[in-house]
Amino acid sequence: MDRRKRQTEIEQSETDNPIKQVKQTDAVVWGSYIRDKVNKLSNQFECERINSSKIFDGVSIWVNGYTDPSSDELRQAMVQHGGRYIHYYTKSEVTHIIATNLPKSKIDQLTTEKVVTPDWIIDSIKHGDLLDYKLYELYNNMKGQMKLIFNSDTNCLNS
């Protein structure tokens, strides 16, 4: 009888323990926290976009790593000119990845993503119009380093 009573007390103390309760719902709490954070940031940027130009209308960027100008400056530029700055990368939301350098392992993961240098944003603002992103691609061949083809007929290198 004492053993059964003790087991009941232990089970009761486990269900009353707030730490145990939190551990059971960590995934739910974390998921809703991130969702709420993303929504808050999105709403904040929408308010800033009200009186902006429309150069980057329909463009959403995600900044990968160190850039010059900084990611905060790029965020401000995008918001001021009608674009969106995405804090957490999702392929369905991001139209362009902004980077100055990517490791080969990351390049190998990319398939159809448009990866451009920060100059694309700066030059588009200077020209007052959205410039062709292809002129600012970080890498032309997303599956690795570009290859030079040697043409034996003319003794020239072709790219």
Q: What is the pLDDT of residues 51-103, one digit of tens each?
A: 568 899 999 999 999 999 999 999 999 989 999 999 889 899 999 999 999 88
Share of the chain above pLDDT 90, in %: 40
Tokens matching residue 92: 């369905």
What is the model's pLDDT at position 32?
Answer: 73
pLDDT tier, 131 (very low <50, low <70, confident <90, very high otherwise):
very high
Tokens matching residue 146: 């570009």
What is the model's pLDDT at position 133?
Answer: 95
Mean pLDDT, the chain, integer: 76
pTM: 0.61
Share of the chain above pLDDT 70, in %: 57
CA separation for the pair 77, 122 (Å, rounded)? 8
Would you call the peptide bond into 69 cis, given omega within 30 degrees of 0 as the criterion?
yes
Question: CB of 88 within 8 A of CB of 37?
Answer: no
Strand partners, 137: 116
Helix-helix angle 119-127:71-80, to 10 degrees = 30
pLDDT tier, 47 (very low <50, low <70, confident <90, very high otherwise):
low
SS (H, E, C) the chain: CHHHHHHHHHHHHHHHCHHHHHHHCHHHHHHHHHHHHHHHHHHHHHHHCCCCCCCCCCCEEEECCCCCCCHHHHHHHHHHCCCEECCCCCCCCCCEEECCCCCHHHHHHCCCCCEECCHHHHHHHHHCCCCCHHHHECCCCCCCCCCCEEECCCCEEEC
pLDDT at 25 over 70: no
